[in-house]
Amino acid sequence: MTHFEQSALLKRLPDQFFARLTAKVRNLVAEGHDVINLGQGNPDLPTPAFIVKELQQAATNPSFHQYSPFSGHTFLKEAVATFYKREYDVTLDPETEVAVLFGAKTGLVEISQCLLNPGDVALLPDPGYPDYTSGIALAEARASLFPLLAENHFLPDYDSFSQQEVDKAKLLFLNYPNNPTAGVATNAFFDETVAFAADNNICVVHDLAYGAIGFDGVKPPSFLQSEGAKDVGVEMYTLSKTYNMAGWRVGFAVGNASVIESINLLQDHMYVSLFGAIQHAAAAALLSDQRDVTELVARYESRRNVFIEGLRAAGLSAVAPKGSFFVWLPVPEGFSSESFADFLLKEAHIVVAPGNGFGEYGEGYVRIGLLADEERLREAVGRIAELELVKRCRSKD
């Protein structure tokens, strides 16, 4: 069989970090081990029943069996605008400030192709979501990394940025609540971000994937709540986490009209929008009373409390996250991120994601997803507590 060489474009793409992690898990499961997988960000709970019912009913509508409008149905874009007004008191024009996406990941990859030329620079958080780099590679642009440090609450310090890199930059990627660090932003930080972007003619891309998931009575803010935010950037939102709709692949971008126009233009050449019934169900989710969302956040907070209390009782230092469904756990002395993740996998059959997979400044941490029920989380903590390493740590205290 003839082997056809891949294009230079494909060769530029970064390795898929989670593909390697999944392979390790698959091998252990095949050997018959009971593996507790806390290494990925895939919600473990089903989509609320009323959303599924909306899809089932809408699927019988013959008008949805035809091609959807290229830029998405007006009713979904209007639902997005209603959602943002209700949740954040942000006013959006449904036709010019909303783009329907095949999941937020698609938009986060597309935006680099929309706004960057070969050699241009995008400012990226380190550690950060690995797929930000995919779109940059496709655009033949360059990533300039800035550190997210615990001493700064995992927020960037704009004063520390290289002015030489800032002068070259066209995009700035942010993500709060943050994956992987679980750091959260404030309105004051977003105000500072708007000023930084305006001063340097940079477009902000805020990934609000975990926007619904805030703890201790604090709701994570939207970047667009800051005055002037729509002048300098966009926000991307997915229904995957808020409504457990990861497999539905539906999200949206909102904000700066020129950027929304560019996203729609690129998508005109790549897609014919989402199946209309999925758009209908997504609109129903956004316009609902959000009772299911409130219950979901309460469940994640309860899981967080169970897991963090268990880790502390086992003698491990753990900071309770204020948002997202991740725990960013420092590794014990003597371990790297990779070696500790491998140790937990081999000795306790617990999967976590090594922090160095998210960037250089992720070294020294592992990311743990609170994506199992409380019983399984207690079991995971119990397995960790029984490890000789943890017992030795406890004996020193």
Residue 257 lies in a domain: yes
**Which of 229, 262, 287 is the endpoint of a domain?**
287
Residue 150 lies in a domain: yes
pLDDT score at 392: 58
Residue 138 lies in a domain: yes
Does residue 144 carry a pLDDT above 60? yes
Residue 33 or 368, more confident? 368
Mean predicted confidence (pLDDT) in 357-367? 96
- Confidence bin at 41 (pLDDT 50/70/90): confident
pLDDT score at 397: 52
| Other residues' Cβ atoms within 10 Å of the Cβ of residue 274 | 22
pLDDT score at 11: 86
Cβ atoms 208, 251 nearer than 8 A: no
Mean predicted confidence (pLDDT) in 166-189? 97
The answer to whether the Cα torsion of 84, 112, 116, 204 is positive or negative is positive
pLDDT score at 205: 98
Residue 2 lies in a domain: no
Residue 1 lies in a domain: no
The β-bridge partners of 174 are 206
* Distance (Å, whole) CA 39 – CA 187: 30
> For residue 141, which amino acid is it?
A
Mean predicted confidence (pLDDT) in 288-314? 95
Backbone angles phi, psi at 25, to 5 degrees: -65, -45
pLDDT score at 21: 73
CATH of the domain at 74: 3.40.640.10
Residue 187 or 42, more confident? 187
Residue 315 lies in a domain: yes
Q: Please state the domain count of the chain.
A: 2
Statement to judge: residues 43 and 53 lie in one domain = no
| Other residues' Cβ atoms within 10 Å of the Cβ of residue 297 | 19
The per-residue DSSP string of 49-83 comes to HHHHHHHHHHTT-GGGGSPPPTT--HHHHHHHHHH
- Confidence bin at 388 (pLDDT 50/70/90): confident
* Distance (Å, whole) CA 247 – CA 43: 10
Statement to judge: residues 19 and 60 lie in one domain = no
What tens digit of pLDDT does each residue of 198-219 get? 999 999 999 999 999 999 999 9
Residue 203 lies in a domain: yes
Statement to judge: residues 314 and 359 lie in one domain = yes
Q: For the chain, what percentages of helix, strand and coil (3-state, to nearest 5) are there?
A: 50, 15, 35
Statement to judge: residues 202 and 118 lie in one domain = yes
Statement to judge: residues 265 and 298 lie in one domain = no
Quickly tell me which residue has 């593909």 as its tokens. Answer: 19
% pLDDT > 90, the chain: 83
**Which of 287, 305, 334 is the endpoint of a domain?**
287
Statement to judge: residues 283 and 302 lie in one domain = no
Residue 3 lies in a domain: no
pLDDT score at 188: 98
CATH of the domain at 350: 3.90.1150.10
Statement to judge: residues 297 and 318 lie in one domain = yes
Statement to judge: residues 213 and 343 lie in one domain = no
> For residue 101, which amino acid is it?
L
Residues 6+ apart with CB under 8 A from 28: 35, 345, 349
pTM attached to this predicted model: 0.94
* Distance (Å, whole) CA 319 – CA 327: 8
Statement to judge: residues 215 and 330 lie in one domain = no
Backbone angles phi, psi at 238, to 5 degrees: -115, 150
Statement to judge: residues 84 and 25 lie in one domain = no
Statement to judge: residues 94 and 220 lie in one domain = yes
**Which of 253, 287, 321 is the endpoint of a domain?**
287
pLDDT score at 13: 83
pLDDT score at 314: 84
| Other residues' Cβ atoms within 10 Å of the Cβ of residue 120 | 17
pLDDT score at 391: 55
* Distance (Å, whole) CA 86 – CA 88: 6
- Confidence bin at 396 (pLDDT 50/70/90): low
What tens digit of pLDDT does each residue of 178-192 get? 999 999 999 999 999
Mean predicted confidence (pLDDT) in 63-72? 93
- Confidence bin at 75 (pLDDT 50/70/90): very high
Statement to judge: residues 43 and 62 lie in one domain = no
Cβ atoms 337, 355 nearer than 8 A: yes
Cβ atoms 61, 277 nearer than 8 A: yes
Mean pLDDT of the chain: 93
Helix (H) or strand (E) holding 353: strand 353-354
Cβ atoms 84, 254 nearer than 8 A: yes
pLDDT score at 31: 86
pLDDT score at 378: 96
Domain range holding 325?
8-47+291-396
Does residue 177 carry a pLDDT above 90? yes
